Amino acid sequence: MATNHFDDPNIPDEERLFRRIHLTHIVEGDGGKSEVSSAAFRDTELSVNLDAVMQAAGRKPWDSLKDHPNDLLMSLDAGVCRRKGQIVGPDPKPEEPAHGYVFGKKSKSIQRALRDAAGWIVPDSAPSWAEIRLRREQLGIGKDPGAA
């Protein structure tokens, strides 16, 4: 976690930021579709991967999932975050040099705006709720631990 958050002018507004989405943040939508919960964009310090850093290292967006094979991946532009009062900066980690953050208080409306601005990377479109439910069942995610 970064301690000196700053809005890095070297990260242009059009830079793609990759956000991993855990299966618990996928909810059932209308007509058998799945939706991303705005809670996936709630953290004050939202972890992302910076596209330019990944490209410079010859890495593809889906490399963001290398240690998280059950997560999904979305992207949003840095400028969208900034227009919602967030700051975007680098926070390289030994295990992930492309790590960065979107820092700032995120009201429910900001969470929704970030979610609505995000596009799918992995998979390339929203999965069906049946697909998500099956994956969650296979992984034991979302089950009531007291259920028989």
Q: Is the pLDDT of residue 102 over 70?
A: yes
- Domain coverage including residue 116: 16-139
Each residue's pLDDT tens digit, 46-90: 999 999 999 999 999 999 999 999 999 999 999 999 999 999 999
Identify which has the larger pLDDT, 64 or 1.
Answer: 64
Cβ proximity of 103 and 91 under 8 Å:
no
- Residue of 69, 19, 76, 4 whose CA lies nearest to 49: 19
| Number of domains composing the chain | 1
Position 1 scores a pLDDT of 66
In a domain? residue 83 = yes
pTM reported for the whole predicted model: 0.93
Q: Is the pLDDT of residue 123 over 60?
A: yes
In a domain? residue 146 = no
In a domain? residue 117 = yes
Torsion angle of C-alpha atoms 81, 102, 116, 50, degrees rounded to 10: 90
Q: Is the pLDDT of residue 2 over 80?
A: no
In a domain? residue 10 = no
The count of other CB atoms within 10 Å of the CB of residue 35 is: 15
In a domain? residue 148 = no
C-alpha span between 35 and 28 (Å, rounded): 6
User: What letter does residue 132 receive in the DSSP assignment?
Assistant: H
In a domain? residue 3 = no
State phi, psi for 64 to the nearest 5 degrees: -60, -20
C-alpha span between 27 and 102 (Å, rounded): 23
In a domain? residue 61 = yes
In a domain? residue 2 = no
